[in-house]
């Protein structure tokens, strides 16, 4: 059988162990498929619990096959605004309707728009296998361009947003050479916890400027302090020091570094 | 067996579960309204609704829709009915290839938000690319569909010219028209090409017989199988491009072999027996013109295809005597046409006639070139143009016609072929990259004194339209300004790059980038407002062009003057905010071939049954000749446009109306239609012995001719059939009266020019170098506006392509061969556009009409760059002006 549609996790894990390619939204798999998508392919859509957003004591659990549209249209806390803004900028409407958060992560593009907002939320990934479930920080899951820490027989089942990361406000911004359907030249997400006119905690992540999107701890540290003048405390040199962009058809590396700093600054302003 | 509901009906498909839904719909369920533009989710043409959600059918596994409801453009729903009516009324469909995707994306929105505003519509349609319209009419149509649409009224007899008549072929466009891949003869072999992965490579073919003997493979063909002359060019004396190359391949994407697969077979080419031996490649004209550069074609020394020249007066002396002189250079990139329909078609034999139905802009040229390649007399080849999903110049050259023709001819079986997006981008023509430099001077009062220009155009591996570009550029490089002394040269130089050919403007848009940017600097030196500088220098009636001919019906002055109020408003707007700027640029463009014959012929007949038939051979690639030509014919004949039945284009049914190129159809074919209609009318009046003002009324078997109170009747059934099989008919040709250019480019290159000027208002982000277009005002002189709705569509669509050329488009072989790395504007990238239609009638044009199709693109990019300079001081000397390049220029780093 070339096309599997498991309806239980056991079946899915067995198929995964057998080496079937995982089909989530199809928006990355089909473009590379040539005239025909060759199997064996495992379509996750029928798996219980693989789609949808659930709230639990630990935080939010987003099923790996939850679409970007579902994320954009869900009623979620303000800290996830960056994620919801990114959800409306992944491809066009058609790709948002089909494309999934789990697929975006497993595809591991340096420019994946979903990643910076998830990094600032402190997201974890839930990896299921026949031997149990492994929880991994998103930073540790993403290894490099098109490389993730997914062991043979493992499936990305869900993205977890721990309660601690769901505090505060956030914003996402991306820069491309056109308005829609565009791969980011650079992107940035910022989450800020504000209390009494002070930024008590900050999380900043930048995409498309390093092999995988990165958190920027030194920039985060500098942001903590008075709300007043926060954006001005984003030091371009500190942003640049944390990143390692490349020159490509979309932009030069030097430009990406400057754009990243500017996007972070603007995301700070937008979040506040 | 996978079952689902399709447009309200239960259907079942016996197909692999992972099959793309787009393929199942089109190939197994006969629903060809869903179009395939990229197979990658980049273009949205295949958008369908799955349980109401807009989805790219090319990214959807068939198994995913099991038990669900799939809605395609073939559905009849109240929302789709409203949308279709609105699309027609607003002129939202041009070529129609993106229309199904647009309709379905809009349907999803309207089902959720019955009365969306413009911003919502732009967001919802952001995932569907359109290359023709510039999106404005589409967005307006979706907004209107939410508000309820009023159907426009049909114009009365004699009132068609000037009426905003919706496209006569529009109903098919909003239903999902039949393009190149949409009509497939039963049992057709599926043809695939083996293409060079290298810009220059020798190759050796291995065991072809062994490959041909594989299951599912019907036959393999190579250059050795070409029965005729394996060399073609749109300009026959330059014929140099093989349909299938023998070693070496001279550009990446060149076809070196064909495999014909049995229908339904796996089309796997991965181990086709070919061995590649990459050879050193010439990547740029500079490399190709180096002293020791190898020759790409042994008969073209210096790798020079051709040089075009215009010399009038003593430019060097004029510049030396000028009060102000500016000097500058400009470089442009390969630009891809990026029509949403990749090349596709089918071929079959009818008796001993080979029939090829494919997308094309030039059925007559296809017929001649393909017949020569296949060694057939032209009367054994029939070309039926399919609906064309965008062309913009590239579908003037043959692509797959000789390939499918060869397979059908050799196997005796029908054959079909559809290029993949990557194949289409790699193997078909591009806009010439240009390296341009020179000087322009003016006197102390700001009057232009002279110009020197040298342009080098990368014409790629084969000739295509390189000669036309090299000849058009020097003729147009002055822009529509009085230039007493000029010395302009343009060389088309071969490289191992993609074949550069025709793309909306034949090199003139590139030249305009050089000249209009320099004119801004010259105006600055002379201390004159940039718009007033252009008005001061604008060509006027009776002025002599750089090619030495006196001009008539010159519309540039009125176009520029019409921009004055917007210019004043724009200057004030620019002063109100940081980073704002405005820019202006002009165009002029000769309609039709440059100093070469290019006749069109139109036939109109009245059948014995009383039907009036217009044989309309001008291919409508979205620009509107299926509507404009009937409008002209109807008014000249004195009948309502609805009384005409259209036939063609089809080389078996329509006389040659030439190619859809060079902004010539409205003017040249329109004039032929006018002549044919007047001749037929005269014949009718003669027969009825009636006077000029008589009213014609067709009726079954009769033609009524009413003159005041006198009523005469022609009994059509009593008339003998004329040689064309009609009771009455007329066929007339028109060829623009031009005169060849001499060695200094002096002569009459064109009989009619069109003119235009555009004003761009924009903001540049000071930190990111990104451009936000605020508004574009476009004044164009059409001579006579035949159809304001279609004219507006041409203007908005041409501007969108100009925006792409200015800000984002750069084709890099092997790197941007898809629609996510090669960016064209989306719904969010085109600002509001205000067209101003000017009418300075040209005595040569039908009802005074001039061409428009290419003019609309030419001023946009230079006006954008001029506005960027106004906003920031940045002088951009290279397109596309990507954000990082703008930022570098703002900081003086580029």
What residues of chain A, 131 to 190, have a C-beta less than 8 Å from chain B?
A: 175, 177-183, 185
Nearest to B370 by CA among B352, B391, B389, B355: B355
Report yes or no on A48 lying in a domain. Answer: no
Which H or E run includes B173?
Answer: helix B170-173
What CATH number did the domain enclosing A253 receive? 3.30.390.50
Comparing alpha-carbon positions, the chain A residue that sits nearest to B419 is: A35
Any residues with CB less than 8 A from the CB of B786 and at least 6 apart, and which? Answer: B161, B162, B628, B631, B632, B666, B670, B846, B847, B849
Looking at residue A1, its pLDDT comes to 58
Q: Are B605 and B615 in contact (CB under 8 A)?
A: yes
Give me the CATH topology for the region B189-281+343-418. Answer: Aldehyde Oxidoreductase; domain 4 (3.30.365)
Residue B842: name the closest of B591, B646, B615 by CA: B591
Whether A256 is in a domain gets the answer: yes
pLDDT at B153: 80
Rounded CA-CA distance B282/B288 in Å is 6
Q: Which of residues 81-100 of A touch B (CB under 8 A)?
A: 88, 91-95, 97-98
* Structural domain includes residue A4: no
Asked, for residue A40, whether it belongs to a domain, the answer is: no
Is A182 domain-assigned? yes
Of B53, B59, B826, the CB nearest to A179: B826
The beta-carbon neighbor of A178 closest among B54, B124, B829 is B829
Is the Cβ–Cβ distance between B806 and B861 less than 8 Å?
A: yes
- Which value, in Å, is the radius of gyration of the alpha carbons in chain B? 27
Helix (H), strand (E) at residue A144: strand A142-144
Reply yes or no on domain B430-435+501-592+746-890 having CATH 3.90.79.10.
Answer: no
Say yes or no: A72 contacts chain B, CB-CB below 8 A: no
The SS3 call for residue B464 is coil
CATH architecture entry for B600-734: 2-Layer Sandwich (3.30)
Inter-chain touch B61–A3, beta carbons under 8 Å: yes
> Under a CB-based contact definition with an 8 Å cutoff, are residues B296 and B461 in contact?
yes
Answer whether residue A189 shows pLDDT above 70.
yes
Residues of chain B with pLDDT under 70: 894
- B72/chain A closest Cα distance in angstroms: 14
Tens of pLDDT, residue by residue over A121-163, are 999 999 999 999 999 999 999 999 999 999 999 999 999 999 9
- For chains A and B, CB pairs below 8 A equal 148
d(C-alpha B370, C-alpha B376), whole Å: 8
The residue segments making up the domain with residue A237 are 168-271
- Give the CATH architecture of domain B1-175: Roll (3.10)
- Sequence ranges of the domains in chain B: 1-175, 189-281+343-418, 430-435+501-592+746-890, 600-734
Tokens 């050259």 belong to B397
Interface test with B, best of A92, A234, A236, A246 (most B CBs within 10 A): A92
Is B19 in Cβ contact with A177 (below 8 Å)?
A: no
With CB atoms and an 8 Å threshold, state whether B884 touches A255.
Answer: yes
Q: Which residues pair with B205 in a beta bridge?
A: B274
Test mutation, A180, A188, A208, chain B, max B CBs within 10 A:
A180
Considering chain A, what is the average pLDDT of its residues? 96
List residues bridging with B779 in a β-sheet. B757, B836
Fold matches, B1-175 and B189-281+343-418: no
Yes or no, beta carbons of B18 and A259 under 8 Å apart: no
Split into its structural domains, chain A has a count of 1
Min distance A40 CA to chain B CA atoms (Å): 10
Cβ of B44 and A94 within 8 Å? yes
Contacts of A94 in chain B (CB under 8 A): 41, 44, 47, 54-56, 59, 105, 127
- Nearest Cα of chain A lies from the Cα of B17 at a distance, in angstroms, of 6
Q: Cβ of B127 and A180 within 8 Å?
A: yes
Q: How far apart, in Å, do the first and last CA atoms of chain B sit?
A: 61
Does some domain include residue A147? no
Mean pLDDT (whole number) for A25-44: 93
CB B814 within 8 A of CB B742: no
Contact A178 B825 (CB under 8 A): yes
Q: Which of A2, A91, A185 sits opposite B18 (nearest CB)?
A: A2
Residue A250, chain B, CB below 8 Å: the answer is yes
């Amino acid at each position: 059988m070339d096309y599997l549609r498991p309806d239980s996790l056991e079946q899915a894990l067995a198929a995964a162990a057998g080496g079937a390619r995982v089909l989530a939204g199809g928006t990355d798999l089909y473009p590379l498929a040539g005239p025909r998508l060759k199997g064996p392919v495992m379509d996750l859509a029928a798996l219980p619990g693989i789609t949808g957003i659930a709230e639990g004591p630990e935080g939010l659990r987003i099923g790996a096959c939850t679409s970007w549209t579902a994320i954009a249209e869900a009623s979620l806390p303000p800290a996830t605004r960056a994620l919801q803004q990114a959800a409306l900028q992944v491809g066009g409407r058609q790709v948002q309707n089909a494309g999934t958060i789990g697929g975006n992560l497993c595809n591991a593009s340096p420019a994946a728009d979903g990643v910076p907002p998830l990094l600032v939320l402190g997201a974890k990934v839930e990896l299921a296998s026949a031997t149990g479930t492994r929880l991994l920080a998103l930073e540790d899951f993403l290894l490099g361009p098109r490389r993730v820490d997914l062991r043979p027989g493992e499936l990305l089942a869900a993205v977890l947003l721990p309660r601690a990361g769901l505090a505060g406000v956030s914003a996402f911004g991306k820069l491309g050479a056109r308005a829609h359907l565009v791969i980011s030249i650079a992107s940035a997400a910022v989450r800020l916890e504000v209390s009494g006119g002070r930024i008590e905690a900050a999380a900043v992540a930048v995409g498309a400027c390093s092999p995988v999107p990165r958190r920027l701890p030194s920039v985060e540290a500098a942001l903590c302090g008075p709300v007043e003048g926060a954006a001005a405390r984003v030091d371009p040199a500190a942003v640049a020091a944390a990143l390692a962009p490349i020159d490509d058809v979309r932009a030069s590396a030097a430009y990406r570094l400057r754009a990243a700093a500017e996007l972070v600054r603007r995301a700070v302003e937008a979040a506040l | 067996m996978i079952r689902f509901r399709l447009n309200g009906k239960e259907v079942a498909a016996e197909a692999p579960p992972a099959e793309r839904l787009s393929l199942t719909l089109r190939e197994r369920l006969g629903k060809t309204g869903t179009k395939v533009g990229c197979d990658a989710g980049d273009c949205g043409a295949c958008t369908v609704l799955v349980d109401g959600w807009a989805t790219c059918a090319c990214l959807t596994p068939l198994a995913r829709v099991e038990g669900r409801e799939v809605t395609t453009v073939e559905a009849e729903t109240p929302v789709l009915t409203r949308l279709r009516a609105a699309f027609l009324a607003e002129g939202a469909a041009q070529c129609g290839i993106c229309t199904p995707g647009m309709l379905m994306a809009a349907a999803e929105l309207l089902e959720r938000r019955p009365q969306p505003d413009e911003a919502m519509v732009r967001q919802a349609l952001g995932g569907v690319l359109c290359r023709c319209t510039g999106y404005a009419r589409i967005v307006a149509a979706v907004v209107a569909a939410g508000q309820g649409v009023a159907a426009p009224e049909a114009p009365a007899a004699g009132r068609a010219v000037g009426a905003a008549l919706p496209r006569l072929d529009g109903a098919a466009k909003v239903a999902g028209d039949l393009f190149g891949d949409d009509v497939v003869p039963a049992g057709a072999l599926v043809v695939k090409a083996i293409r060079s992965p290298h810009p220059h490579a020798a190759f050796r073919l291995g065991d072809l017989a062994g490959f041909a003997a594989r299951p599912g493979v019907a036959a393999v063909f190579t250059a050795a199988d070409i029965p005729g002359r394996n060399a073609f060019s749109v300009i026959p004396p330059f014929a140099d491009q093989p349909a299938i190359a023998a070693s070496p391949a001279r550009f990446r994407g060149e076809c070196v072999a064909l495999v014909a697969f049995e229908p339904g077979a796996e089309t796997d080419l991965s181990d086709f027996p070919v061995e590649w031996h990459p050879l050193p490649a010439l990547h740029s004209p500079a490399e190709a013109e180096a002293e020791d550069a190898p020759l790409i074609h042994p008969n073209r020394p210096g790798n020079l295809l051709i040089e075009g020249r215009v010399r009038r007066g003593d430019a060097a002396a004029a510049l030396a005597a000028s009060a102000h002189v500016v000097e500058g250079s400009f470089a442009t990139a390969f630009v891809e046409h990026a029509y949403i329909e990749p090349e596709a078609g089918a071929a079959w034999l009818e008796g001993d006639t080979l029939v090829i139905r494919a997308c094309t802009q030039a059925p007559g040229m296809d017929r001649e070139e393909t017949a020569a390649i296949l060694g057939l007399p032209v009367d054994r080849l029939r070309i039926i143009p399919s609906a064309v999903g965008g062309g913009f110049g590239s579908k003037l050259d043959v692509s797959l016609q000789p390939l499918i023709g060869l397979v059908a001819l050799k196997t005796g079986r029908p054959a079909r072929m559809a290029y993949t997006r990557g194949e289409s981008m790699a193997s078909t023509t591009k806009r010439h990259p240009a390296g341009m430099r020179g000087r322009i001077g003016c006197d102390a009062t700001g009057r232009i004194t002279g110009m020197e220009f040298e342009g080098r155009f990368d014409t790629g591996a084969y000739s295509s339209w390189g000669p036309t570009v090299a000849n058009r550029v020097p003729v147009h490089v002055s822009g529509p300004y009085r230039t007493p002394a000029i010395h302009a040269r343009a060389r088309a130089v071969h490289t191992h790059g993609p074949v550069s050919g025709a793309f909306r403007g034949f090199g003139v848009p590139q030249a305009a980038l050089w000249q209009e940017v320099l004119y801004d600097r010259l105006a600055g030196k002379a201390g004159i407002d940039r718009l007033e500088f252009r008005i001061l220098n604008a060509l006027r009636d009776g002025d002599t062009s750089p090619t030495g001919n006196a001009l008539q019906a010159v519309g540039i002055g009125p176009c520029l003057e019409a921009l004055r109020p917007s210019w004043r408003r724009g200057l004030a707007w620019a002063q109100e905010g940081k980073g704002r700027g405005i820019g202006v640029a002009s165009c002029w463009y000769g309609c039709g071939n440059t100093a070469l014959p290019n006749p069109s012929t139109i036939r109109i007949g009245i059948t014995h049954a009383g039907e009036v038939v217009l044989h309309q051979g001008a291919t409508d690639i979205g620009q509107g000749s299926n509507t404009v030509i009937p409008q002209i014919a109807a008014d000249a004949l004195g009948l309502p446009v609805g009384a005409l039945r259209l036939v063609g284009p089809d080389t078996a049914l329509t006389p040659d109306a030439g190619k859809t190129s060079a902004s010539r159809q409205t003017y040249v074919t329109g004039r032929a239609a006018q002549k044919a209609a007047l001749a037929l009318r005269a014949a009718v009046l003669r027969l009825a012995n009636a006077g000029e003002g008589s009213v014609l009324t067709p009726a079954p078997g009769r033609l009524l001719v009413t003159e005041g109170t006198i009523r005469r009747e022609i009994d059509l059934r009593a008339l003998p059939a004329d040689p064309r099989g009609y009771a009455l008919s007329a066929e007339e040709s028109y060829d623009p009266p031009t005169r060849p250019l001499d060695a200094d480019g002096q002569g009459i290159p064109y009989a009619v020019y069109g003119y235009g000027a555009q004003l761009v208002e924009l903001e540049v982000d000071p930190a990111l170098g990104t451009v936000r277009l605020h508004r574009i005002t476009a004044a164009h002189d059409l001579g006579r506006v035949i159809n304001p709705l279609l004219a507006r569509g041409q203007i908005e669509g041409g501007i969108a392509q100009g925006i792409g050329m200015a800000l984002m488009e750069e084709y890099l072989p092997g790197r941007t061969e898809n629609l996510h790395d090669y960016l064209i504007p989306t719904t969010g990238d085109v600002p509001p556009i205000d067209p101003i239609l000017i009418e300075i009638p040209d005595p040569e044009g039908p009802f005074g009409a001039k061409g428009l199709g290419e003019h609309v693109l030419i001023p946009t990019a230079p006006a954008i760059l001029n506005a960027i300079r106004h906003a920031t001081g940045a002088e951009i000397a290279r397109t596309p002006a990507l954000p990082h390049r703008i930022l570098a220029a703002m900081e003086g780093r580029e």
